[in-house]
């Protein structure tokens, strides 16, 4: 099955608050992720049909998002409903932005960049919902897997355990150490750029803070130069 049929993560749910928008890239496709005032998340092509401005720079008003440039406003189906320069115009149905399927599960916003004809992969099951952080690194997913296989997770005050890595799907990995379980939703941005959206099953404020520091160190490890000995 092609990757276009797969559910792919675009953000931690907690990072997109109602009334806000953000840009995301999945395998080169530029997307806007936005949440309307009712809390429903949307993922669209990040391009206004008028002059191509990024919709992720736009403004969310109730259940519409308006383009920053000339204010064209779109409803939750991606249909343009209002053009400020022509307020009485019955906006043609052809002025529409491409929208994608969205599911929120396990504290992550997932989308499918699929055509209607493609069957859906099952949504990855994530047994976690406490957001730790999203991190973005200049490396391949394969390199991230190799580094994570050797990582040690903080499990208590000044305590770390070697983590066990499991690949549930290409976009959902788990790490376990002691009683701690982490989920990682893997966003492939490009061949050498990934986003890792990390969640824990439970944890004190101190542990979540320690995990956030671990994630920051992980980003440095992911981007560290690879030595000749490691390549050989």
Report how far residue 152's alpha carbon sits from residue 144's, in angstroms, rounded to the nearest whole number: 14
Which residue has 């390199």 as its token pair? Answer: 143
Rounded to a whole number of angstroms, the CA Rg of the chain reads 20
Closest separation in Å from C-beta 24 to ligand FES: 19
Does 182 contact ligand FES by CB under 6 A?
no
Does 53 contact ligand FES by CB under 6 A?
yes
Q: Which of residues 65-104 bind ligand FES (CB under 6 A)?
A: 67, 69-70, 72
Helix axes 205-223, 141-148, angle to 10 degrees: 120
Closest separation in Å from C-beta 42 to ligand FES: 17
Closest separation in Å from C-beta 37 to ligand FES: 21
Q: DSSP letters along 119-150, please? A: PPPPPPP----EEEEEEEESS-HHHHHHHHTT
Among the listed ranges 15-23, 45-53, 93-101, 144-152, the one in contact with ligand FES (CB under 6 A) is: 45-53
**No. of H helices and E strands in the chain?**
3, 17
Does 48 contact ligand FES by CB under 6 A?
yes
Q: Which of residues 125-144 bind ligand FES (CB under 6 A)?
A: none
Residue numbers of the site for ligand FES (CB under 6 A)? 48, 50-51, 53, 67, 69-70, 72
């Amino acid at each position: 099955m092609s990757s276009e049929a797969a559910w792919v993560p675009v953000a931690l749910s907690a990072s997109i608050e109602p009334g806000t928008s953000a840009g995301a890239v999945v395998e080169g496709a530029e997307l806007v992720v936005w949440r309307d005032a009712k809390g429903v998340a949307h993922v669209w092509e990040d391009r206004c049909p008028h002059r191509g401005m990024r919709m992720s720079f736009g403004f969310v008003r109730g259940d519409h998002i308006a383009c920053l440039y000339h204010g064209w406003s779109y409803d939750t189906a991606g249909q343009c409903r209002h053009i400020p320069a022509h307020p009485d115009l019955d906006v043609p149905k052809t002025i529409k932005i491409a929208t994608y399927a969205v599911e929120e599960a396990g504290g992550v916003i997932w989308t499918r960049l699929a055509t209607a004809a493609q069957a859906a992969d099952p949504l990855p099951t994530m047994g976690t919902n406490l957001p730790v952080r999203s991190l973005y690194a200049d490396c391949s997913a394969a390199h991230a897997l190799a580094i994570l296989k050797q990582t040690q997770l903080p499990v208590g005050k000044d305590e770390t355990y070697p983590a066990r890595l499991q690949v549930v799907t290409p976009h959902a990995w788990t790490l376990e150490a002691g009683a701690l379980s982490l989920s990682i939703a893997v966003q492939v941005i490009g061949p050498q750029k990934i986003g890792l959206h990390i969640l824990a099953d439970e944890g004190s404020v101190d542990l979540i803070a320690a995990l956030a520091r671990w994630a920051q160190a992980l980003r440095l490890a992911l981007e560290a130069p690879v030595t000749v000995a490691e390549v050989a």
